[in-house]
Structure 1
Amino acid sequence: MTATGPSLQELITAPHPDVAPLPSAATSYDTGVRELRGVPYAPVEGSRPLELDLWLPPAGRTGPFPLVLFVHGGAWRRGRRDDMGMRTRHWAPGPFARLAASGTAVACVDYRLSGEATFPAPLDDLRAAVRWLTLRSAELAIDTGRTVVWGESAGGHLASLLALTHGEPRLIGAVIWYAPSDLTVARGGFSPDDATTPEALLLGAAPAAAPERARAASPLLRVHPGAPPFLLVHGDADTMVDHSHSASLAMALERAGVPVELWSVPGADHGWHGAADLQVDEVFTRSLAFARRLQS
């Protein structure tokens, strides 16, 4: 009897990310950091495959390396996975190469934007990225048991939720820059009754009209004892995400017995607009030191 081979559909479909060959790494001539760009990590039915970029420490260093999982901002509506914000775009080497040169691997991940899917889809995507990175960790020489999640703005909101709700492997810390923490009450210019805000587009309805979903999407309301340490950094002149988001989250974490540092950057607006270059450098350096301390 002749064995039945794979169907035509199976033959033409790209290999599943769980088993697909990894791309070759490109090595930066100035830092020696290795980069793997556009690596698929999850197929999404009826949508684009989700991808991530990886920065690995220079060849010759011994792994497995700890991991920073970076989550980009953009009001949950736009943004690029390899963008840490407007004040770092001109850096050479860039921020992710700097992280990798320090000895940690970096994964910058796609997630579905609010024009593609509503909450909890983007959080589910981050969990899928952690699962895939753990599955392929031996090939990548990374240790996802030493993962610090790092996010800015909307990405910081998702990073906070991931740190407060993810299962195994447990994340060991979170670096959160100027991120929303509460979608349930008015803060600054945000109103939970407005159906046109980025928060409403994330939820698929005005937060006040979907209170259970708004609560589930609010890191402030997901705080619990045993959560990993947090570094919260926020400009005290932020006109887009009110500074009180980080202040309230820091207070809740402290009350739950979770190690937390709140750093208010004087005179800084959203995205570190208005901050001096030296301030932005200090924010990055201190955030890196926080992550590396937890990973060591």
Structure 2
Amino acid sequence: MTVFERVCAAGEFVVSAVSRRMPSASAGPEGISFANGGLARYNLVYATVEPNRDLALDLYTPDAARWPGPRPTVVYIHGGAFAAFDKTGLLPIAGFRNSLSIFADLVDRGYAVASLDYRLSGEAQFPSPLHDVKAGVRWLRSTAEEFNLDPDRFASWGESAGGWFSAMLATTGDVAELEGEVGVTGLSSRVQAAVDWYGPTDFARMDDHLIPPVLLRHDTENSPESHFLGRVPSQSPDLNRAASPLTHITPNTAPMLIQHGAIDHIVAPDQSILLDRALTAAQVPHNLVIYPRADHLFLGYGFLYPSRITTPFFDFLDTHLSPDR
């Protein structure tokens, strides 16, 4: 069995079990190392939801002496079919790099990084997990002075299901009905830039262009997306539209970078092409990069050429968040 098949098999098991994950009580993930100094703070509670359920984030900040002044912040949202994994972000993304090593890269470049937990589909359905993520952004804004963050320079970044969250943050910052009442309220959940790594954009159309061999179908009763919505996407068109970033795009949508593998067997690249077309129609600054021979998680091409994935990512953030100022 290949690495990709093992990842898929693990994902199928977790989805079928409708897993529920709670915030880690440990001191934090091991293995993060900052080349130029940095500080890691683990399990910062950003909101409490019923019944007495804490939502937490990990915050990584650059060395204040090397990087004075409020820092631009990248808000990372993990993937896992809306049903698995947590803020430790250890999926094998961007080739041999994992989330923690890319967090360290960002800190070394002058960015703060916040990695969020949110309620998974075994615990809550849309829109509650989106409310959680928005509450995390608002909490970071409310504590910006304490943690030396710039509240006007926030970017979201996510992969797979996390890419969906990132696209929703980019498109729904002014959509009051999707803000929710979780955690800190009265502040904006807008981001100034967003990165979507191979995320879905229209759940009801995910099965339209699947690449053989088909490893996972999405518009079925037991799909990850159906568990997340609480309904089969195509059977609930109004709910599906509300859960699509395509619905909420306006000329005020945050600039976006979309990166996707051309042979993604889980989320077909057509999902990113749909997003690209809608952003183009609304004249939103964005860039779509589709990588040949790259599967989900950028497996394949990303292992061979990880810098071709991370370099546009860093360049995009540098362009829109300006870490040197």
- Do the structures match in fold with TM over 0.5? yes
| 1:41 maps to amino acid | Y
- The answer on whether the counterparts of 2:94 and 2:310 sit within 8 Å (CA) in structure 1 is no
Counterpart selection for 2:204 from 184, 187, 199? 184
Match of 1:202 in 2: 228
Shift of 1:184: 2.4
**178 and 192 in structure 1: CA distance in 2 versus 1, 3 angstrom threshold:** closer
Match of 2:74 in 1: 68
Q: C-alpha distance in 1, partners of 2:104/2:302?
A: 22
> What is the total number of aligned residue pairs between the two structures?
271
Could you list the per-position Cα deviations for residues 17-61 of structure 1 after superposition, in whole angstroms to 9, with x for gaps in the alignment? xxxxxxxxxx95743111101111000111530000011011302
Using the size of structure 1 for normalisation, the TM-score is: 0.86
Q: C-alpha distance in 2, partners of 1:230/1:38?
A: 28
Q: C-alpha distance in 1, partners of 2:130/2:312?
A: 26
Q: Helix, strand or coil for the counterpart of 1:100?
A: helix
Higher relative contact order (CA 8 A, sep 6+): 2
Match of 2:289 in 1: 263
Match of 2:161 in 1: 154
- The answer on whether the counterparts of 1:145 and 1:170 sit within 8 Å (CA) in structure 2 is no
**267 and 235 in structure 1: CA distance in 2 versus 1, 3 angstrom threshold:** same
Match of 1:295 in 2: 321
Shift of 1:88: 5.5
Worse overlay, 157-166 or 80-89: 80-89
Match of 2:301 in 1: 275
- The answer on whether the counterparts of 1:83 and 1:89 sit within 8 Å (CA) in structure 2 is no
Q: Helix, strand or coil for the counterpart of 1:49?
A: strand
Could you list the per-position Cα deviations for residues 173-199 of structure 1 after superposition, in whole angstroms to 9, with x for gaps in the alignment? 111100100112333347665111111
Runs (5+) with no aligned partner, structure 2:
1-31, 175-187, 211-215
Q: C-alpha distance in 2, partners of 1:153/1:276?
A: 15
Match of 1:55 in 2: 60
Shift of 1:279: 2.2
**35 and 206 in structure 1: CA distance in 2 versus 1, 3 angstrom threshold:** same
- 1:1-296 mapped onto 2 (5 Å cutoff): 28=33, 30-46=35-51, 48-60=53-65, 61-83=67-89, 85-87=91-93, 91=97, 94-167=101-174, 168=188, 170-185=190-205, 186-189=207-210, 193-296=219-322
**272 and 47 in structure 1: CA distance in 2 versus 1, 3 angstrom threshold:** farther
Q: C-alpha distance in 2, partners of 1:121/1:177?
A: 22
Could you list the per-position Cα deviations for residues 88-125 of structure 1 after superposition, in whole angstroms to 9, with x for gaps in the alignment? 59649711011011011110001110001000011101
- The answer on whether the counterparts of 1:192 and 1:208 sit within 8 Å (CA) in structure 2 is no
Q: Helix, strand or coil for the counterpart of 1:56?
A: strand
**29 and 134 in structure 1: CA distance in 2 versus 1, 3 angstrom threshold:** closer
| 1:274 maps to amino acid | G
Using the size of structure 2 for normalisation, the TM-score is: 0.78
**43 and 177 in structure 1: CA distance in 2 versus 1, 3 angstrom threshold:** same
- The answer on whether the counterparts of 1:184 and 1:218 sit within 8 Å (CA) in structure 2 is no
Q: C-alpha distance in 2, partners of 1:34/1:47?
A: 29
**259 and 204 in structure 1: CA distance in 2 versus 1, 3 angstrom threshold:** same
| 2:54 maps to amino acid | P
Q: Helix, strand or coil for the counterpart of 1:94?
A: helix
- The answer on whether the counterparts of 2:95 and 2:302 sit within 8 Å (CA) in structure 1 is no
Q: Helix, strand or coil for the counterpart of 1:184?
A: helix
**95 and 128 in structure 1: CA distance in 2 versus 1, 3 angstrom threshold:** same
- The answer on whether the counterparts of 2:95 and 2:300 sit within 8 Å (CA) in structure 1 is no
Q: Helix, strand or coil for the counterpart of 1:86?
A: coil
**89 and 275 in structure 1: CA distance in 2 versus 1, 3 angstrom threshold:** closer
Worse overlay, 83-92 or 143-152: 83-92
Q: Helix, strand or coil for the counterpart of 1:98?
A: helix
| 2:318 maps to amino acid | R
Could you list the per-position Cα deviations for residues 222-274 of structure 1 after superposition, in whole angstroms to 9, with x for gaps in the alignment? 22122111110000010100100001110110110101101001110000111
